[in-house]
Structure 1
Amino acid sequence: MSESAPDTNSSDAADAPTRPFRAIVDADAIQMAVELVDALFDECHLRLEAEGLRMAGVDPATVASVELTLGRAAFESYETTGVHTGVDLSRLGDVVQMADSGQLVEFDLASETRTLEIHIDGLEYTLALLDPETIRRPPDSPSGGFDFAGEVVADADDFDRAVRAADMVSNHLALGIDDDEDAFYVEATGDTDDVSLALPAEDLADLTTGEAHSLFSLDYLTAIDRAMPTDAEIRLRLGIEQPATIAYEFADGAGSVEYVVAPRISSH
């Protein structure tokens, strides 16, 4: 009796690894995620981890960095074996923006061609990914090691009002906390005009006082402000001539983003 040939279509095939990343996500969530990082950078690190998708980047001047997470809860389905790659945010943004609100976007990563296949209804787009070694790497803990004196929790509308007011008179603005007055304040000084906005603790969602004052380039804060959802509740941490962190959640709490912006050191 001859031996039967091994069954190559059973357990071996069943145990064969799937593609390193496959997912389906609502268009609104992925569009917002890409837009929030694309506000500052053209390229970023993309990590596809068990807990969800993570994007991180730092600008060439090392003034600003961002770390964004879109957790598994934001996805209709999510499978990954763990991937670290790079992505061109402008091109990715152009593709996902083609989806209508509420539409589903499907992703399928082909490791052999280093491409991300994107499906939106009948549209199929193959996006070439980038070597992460060619992209500036942000610090492992972007906001770690800083001496924050206080924390402010405010509506996005208040931040937007402060940034737009400062933009009328200057190209930089100061963010601070007045410990004595128990208030968060914004100041901008121009060649001829000045602007200031003070928000006492009772007008804020939360305020942890501690004397803080730092000057920042308005270019970065304006870019962050423009991408920010209007209904966001933002958390700012501030110190004396220290970076500021700006953090909030999106996608019904399934996503979170934190920006770190370095200060301009005062000359006086």
Structure 2
Amino acid sequence: MEKINKSVLNQVITPRNPESYKGNYGKVLIISGSTHFGGATILCSSAAVNTGSGLVTVATIPEKFTAINVKIPEAMTIDYQNKKALTEAIKNSDVIAVGPGLGTSSIAKGVVKAALTQTNNKQTLILDASAITIIAQENWPLESKANLILTPHQGEWQRLSGLDIAEQNPKSNAQSLQQLNPEALLVLKKHHSEVYYHETTAQIEAGNPGMATGGMGDTLTGIIAGFIAQFGFSFQTVSAGLLLHSTIADKLNKDNYVVLPSKVIEKLPKYMAKYSYKD
């Protein structure tokens, strides 16, 4: 298995053109949240904003709008229960991330189905958390015209792949991904997380037990969305987002027993600036 090292950060994170505007850095749509899980939406969306996405729209339930607008004034909000508004937002986005805190209600199922069926081959669709659970429960084919990224933890991957956690190894994971969708990219979240894409399997040697707290995966999804919006869909782009997430967390863990996702998010602009400099 290949190792993902910090050179990928310098390769992917590039200095911004002095003559820039927000349209240069991609449009991200985060479809997330439910009555009991509003924090996932804030963390995912904050991560996308702080990685530098040009425009971030959050599709969630209206009762969460105020919290999002206060916490993330840079993001726009729409009601994902409004089918017309959701369809328009999907159509106009470069990257769509669906699942954090979404739950598995009938409305959530409709939202996931819309993301799967309404995206096109110029877009990237990230399936996380509840979206993966819904697809597994409903036994839907893992199909989309968009570039497809899966970001499950091992329990979610078990539901989708049918592999018990003890059976999850590079060979079996790659085989299962091939059967589910040979064009999809898998980020398997675990101790030393792994990335699978086509014939390539790679692993980061970063991460720490302080990261074992709610919202860490939601934050990663937002980072990956922001990276793809700016730097394009590729194995390297996703690997860089994954590695930066854990690299920042490792720095914080030196002085903090628990690494809070919100603290990782705060450090994103600083570390992206650091790795954008070319020696």
TM-score under structure 1 length normalisation: 0.23
Larger radius of gyration: 1
Report which of the two has the higher share of strand: 1
Which structure is richer in relative contact order (CA contacts within 8 A, separation 6 or more)?
2
